[in-house]
Amino acid sequence: MDQRIPVTIISGFLGAGKTTLINQLLRTDQARNLTILVNDFGAVNIDTDLIIKREREVMELSNGCVCCSIQSDMVAQLHDIFSSDNPPEYLLIETSGVAQPGRIASVFGYPQLQRHARLDGVITLLDVSQVDELSEDAHALVRSQIEAANLIVATKIDLVAEEQRKEIYRRWLFEDLPVIEARNGDIPAELLLDTRRYEEVTGWDEPALPSRFVSAHWSSETPISYKRLQMCLKRMSGALYRAKGIVCCEEFPQERIIFHKVGSRVDFAKSGKWEDAPRTDIVGIGYRQKISADEIRRELDIAQIA
């Protein structure tokens, strides 16, 4: 019996539903003591605040986006985690929406990690409601995420008719690549975890794609205007593909607001009263050719209450 720590990589383009899926697993899977390693694109890991806390901790992968430049740092951090006095029982790695999971999977071929952990699977989430609307800049990255996967989870399926979904699968996926369709991340854990789908990694080194995205972090302890924020998002439409965060709105000062923007969809949801000092933290991700980090921050400044 292989006693090494199983690892599942959960990948997918910006806004595909990775955090929703992980939260569903944390709520429903009582058989495994899951530890989450979160890797976000940019200076702040917003997802560490959006993932529910359970018995094990939610950890941040240091040094930003897992891509070509920090694989050696990732190996060192994972080795420290696996060889610690309190190693995880099962590790989920939530990748950045602009990461190549094949490059992450390749680090598990390093001898110092093979002794401690086995790669159980690479799951790529595919947002069927948005994939055909992505720009050409995003296509190569999405295809690399699909090519690295041994299981596809199709999300937002309620927004796309069955025949249209089948056509998307035909154009984007390999014939023998299994697909599970999910609504709100509601999939039995036994279909995703401890499946032993992944073969032993040996020397796979996927070439890095050039970065076509830019990110910006914006924060404030002063409430911002909900209406002005919506106007800012409209002005950045087409350039800012993804944004997410925790917002303190002038209109709802006592409520902690979770904010998501994916493509043209924008969602605001109340998530209870503030347990600590109210503040706003937003990460925005846009297309490098269309917007800069400074422009994203300047637009969000406009939503600030004077």
Check whether residue 172 and residue 223 sit in a common domain: no
DSSP code, position 304: B
* Total length of the chain: 306
What integer pLDDT is reported at residue 74 of this predicted model?
Answer: 78
What is the CATH classification number for the domain harbouring 26?
Answer: 3.40.50.300
Let me know: does 90 contact 81? Beta carbons within 8 Å: no
What integer pLDDT is reported at residue 208 of this predicted model?
Answer: 61
Check whether residue 115 and residue 244 sit in a common domain: no
Check whether residue 173 and residue 225 sit in a common domain: no
Residue 131: which domain range? 5-191
Q: Global pTM?
A: 0.76
What integer pLDDT is reported at residue 128 of this predicted model?
Answer: 95
What integer pLDDT is reported at residue 63 of this predicted model?
Answer: 44
Check whether residue 9 and residue 152 sit in a common domain: yes
231 is a domain residue:
yes
201 is a domain residue:
no
133 is a domain residue:
yes
Check whether residue 143 and residue 37 sit in a common domain: yes
Quick one: tokens of 260?
Answer: 């998501």
Closest listed residue to residue 47, CA positions, set 3, 105, 92: 92
Check whether residue 111 and residue 240 sit in a common domain: no
What integer pLDDT is reported at residue 45 of this predicted model?
Answer: 46
Check whether residue 110 and residue 239 sit in a common domain: no
Residue linked to tokens 């992450």 = 104
200 is a domain residue:
no
**Which residues pair with residue 255 across a beta bridge?**
273
Helix, coil or strand: residue 47? helix
What integer pLDDT is reported at residue 61 of this predicted model?
Answer: 56
Number of structural domains found in the chain: 2
117 is a domain residue:
yes
Task: Supply φ then ψ for residue 126, to 5 degrees.
Answer: -120, 115
What integer pLDDT is reported at residue 6 of this predicted model?
Answer: 93
**CA–CA gap between residue 47 and residue 51 (Å, rounded):** 6
**CA–CA gap between residue 88 and residue 84 (Å, rounded):** 9
Alpha carbon 72 to its chain centroid, in Å, reads 21
Check whether residue 217 and residue 185 sit in a common domain: no
Check whether residue 119 and residue 170 sit in a common domain: yes
**CA–CA gap between residue 142 and residue 18 (Å, rounded):** 14
**CA–CA gap between residue 255 and residue 232 (Å, rounded):** 21
Check whether residue 276 and residue 186 sit in a common domain: no
What is the CATH classification number for the domain harbouring 287?
Answer: 3.30.1220.10
179 is a domain residue:
yes
pLDDT in tens, the chain (306 residues): 778 999 999 999 988 989 888 888 888 776 678 888 887 654 444 444 555 544 445 555 544 444 444 466 778 888 888 988 888 889 999 888 888 888 888 888 888 898 999 999 999 999 999 998 888 878 888 999 999 998 999 999 999 999 999 999 999 998 889 999 987 667 888 888 888 876 654 444 565 655 678 888 898 998 898 889 989 988 998 888 888 888 999 888 889 898 888 887 888 888 889 988 898 988 888 888 899 999 999 999 988 865
207 is a domain residue:
no
Q: Please, is 170 exposed, middle or buried when counting C-beta atoms within 10 Å of its C-beta (0-12, 13-18, 19+)?
A: exposed
Check whether residue 62 and residue 150 sit in a common domain: yes
Let me know: does 36 contact 92? Beta carbons within 8 Å: yes
Check whether residue 56 and residue 171 sit in a common domain: yes
83 is a domain residue:
yes
What integer pLDDT is reported at residue 199 of this predicted model?
Answer: 63
What integer pLDDT is reported at residue 14 of this predicted model?
Answer: 87
